[in-house]
Amino acid sequence: MNYSAVQVEPKEKVPEFKKNFQVFRFIGGNLVSFFDDQIYLIALPLIVLAITGSPLSMGIVAALERLPILIQPFTGVLADNFNRKKILLLCDLGRFLTVGLLGFLYIINHLTIWEIYGGALIVGLLTQIYNTSQFASVPKLVQKKDLQLVNSINTGIFQTAVFIAPGLGGIIISFFNPGAGLIINSLSFFFGFLVVLSLKIDSNVQKEKINSAKVFRDIKEGFKFVIAMKPILYTNLAMLFSIFGTTLFLTMLVIHLKSTVSLNAVQIGYLLSIGGVAAIGGALISNWLRRHFTYGNILFYAGVIGGISIIAFAMYESFLWLALMNALGTVCASIKSPCIVTIRQKLSPDHLLGRVQATCRFMTWVLMPVSSLVAGIIAEHFGTTLTLLIGGIIATIASFIYLHPSLKTA
């Protein structure tokens, strides 16, 4: 099959963006979820440190949360053969119960590291399934011409959450308890459940009986499409190595700020919030940049600058310097994200959307569990500073893959 000629099937009966109230609810639900996720990213490492005092334990938690990445190809089959709305609802409900229970157990001093390990694995599994199904649902909620705009807005509100939520989360955690942060995060999943319940997402029930032969045939079809579609393939290769580097950084970020730089929860929250200010601008200009530059150029320069910002972040301990470098890195990430998502959505036919996203996530995230564990090992034996430096160097070098000619015409 000549995949290069495939285009996304035209959408019918989808209103213009200004009158698309469904997508407004979708964006609003993501806003709440993104806010609470930022609190979770501060609360969980602090809880692990309080229980174990070990960077390696945080590496194990992060590795377990990312381990379900290995089943991404199967999540694509789920998204393309079953009712996507029901999948989203079940994932939100499961994460609401799991994260809420972890927070409650910590507040009453009954949470163990083994329960955190189990909870991280469950949350990771449900998140992988949810993200694939959500990605496949978005093109059915908006017109094709609005995809880049919606993806940019979605990234923008994520960075708005990065701007506001960590500072608020740091204050909440310092006055109450990190467990309260997890409970707040769990409530966002329940809110997301209610939002998805209100959306009219087309049923995607399988047309033939699902068996092992069909599952592997569907997975194979997803891989064949991604390999044949060069703009998607080469962004995946660049992301594979870039994400390995940034995962080294992100896994130890809060640990580094707490144990090496000696910041408290409020200071950590403020630092991460400051990073979100510039990132909001990055998300907003992403759509403008696309009108003037190729995807290849945008991704290359954003990748190089973002990688260098990680290296610079590791070299100094001044609060102002750390905030500036974190802001630079997040703005680059917010520019890249909608570009990569839009490339996949525009070049993929509707019946393959779930599998394309799942295949891409598998190809780009497969090393994340390893990177998380490596981050813990390096930090345990050599310190968090070296961990961050190695991550920044890898992310910078990986950006040169974005110069592949296929991304000049994508």
Average pLDDT (159-168) is 57
285 pLDDT higher than 90: no
Domain count, the chain: 1
Q: Which of 142, 100, 151 is nearest to 123 (CA)?
A: 100
Q: Is residue 103 part of a domain?
A: yes
30-44, 173-187, 232-246: which is most confident: 232-246
Q: Report the pLDDT averaged over residues 314-328.
A: 90
> CA 387 to CA 391: how far, in whole Å?
6
Is residue 28 over pLDDT 50? yes
Q: Are 41 and 162 in contact (CB under 8 A)?
A: no
CATH of the domain at 243: 1.20.1250.20
Mean pLDDT in the chain? 81
CA distance 127 to 10: 29
Q: What pLDDT score was predicted for residue 4?
A: 42
By the 10 Å C-beta count (0-12 exposed, 13-18 middle, 19+ buried), 109 is classed as: exposed
Beta strand spans in 164-209 (E): none
* 11 part of a folded domain: no
Distance between the two ends of the chain, CA-based, in angstroms? 19
Is residue 290 in a domain?
yes
Instruction: Check residues 13 and 108 and name the one with the higher pLDDT.
Output: 108
pLDDT range class, residue 80, cuts 50, 70, 90: confident
Average pLDDT over residues 289-293: 81
For residue 62, what pLDDT is reported? 83
Range with the largest mean pLDDT of 2-6, 11-15, 128-132, 211-215: 128-132
pLDDT of res. 115: 94
Is residue 6 in a domain? no
**Among 9-23, 131-145, 347-361, whose mean pLDDT is lowest?**
9-23
- Going by the DSSP 8-state scheme, the letter that residue 177 receives in this structure is -
Residue-level pLDDT at 236: 94
**In this predicted model, what pLDDT tens digit does every residue of 390-402 receive, in sequence order?**
999 999 999 999 9
| Longest Cα–Cα distance in the chain | 60
Task: Report, as an integer, the average pLDDT of 45-67.
Answer: 86
Q: Could you tell me which of 283, 274, 279, 273 has the C-alpha nearest to residue 330?
A: 279
The pLDDT of residue 168 is 63
Q: What is the pLDDT of residue 3?
A: 44
Q: What is the pLDDT at residue 11?
A: 44
C-alpha 270/C-alpha 124 separation (Å) is 27
pLDDT band at 6 (very low <50, low <70, confident <90, very high): very low
Its domain, for residue 223, covers 16-408
Residue 233 lies in a domain: yes
Q: Would residue 8 count as lying in a domain?
A: no
pLDDT digits (tens, 9 = 90+) for 330-380: 888 888 888 888 888 888 887 787 788 778 888 998 898 899 899 999 999
CA atoms 290, 296, 301, 302: torsion sign: positive
- Euclidean distance between CA atoms 85 and 11, whole angstroms: 18
Say what percent of the chain tops pLDDT 70: 79
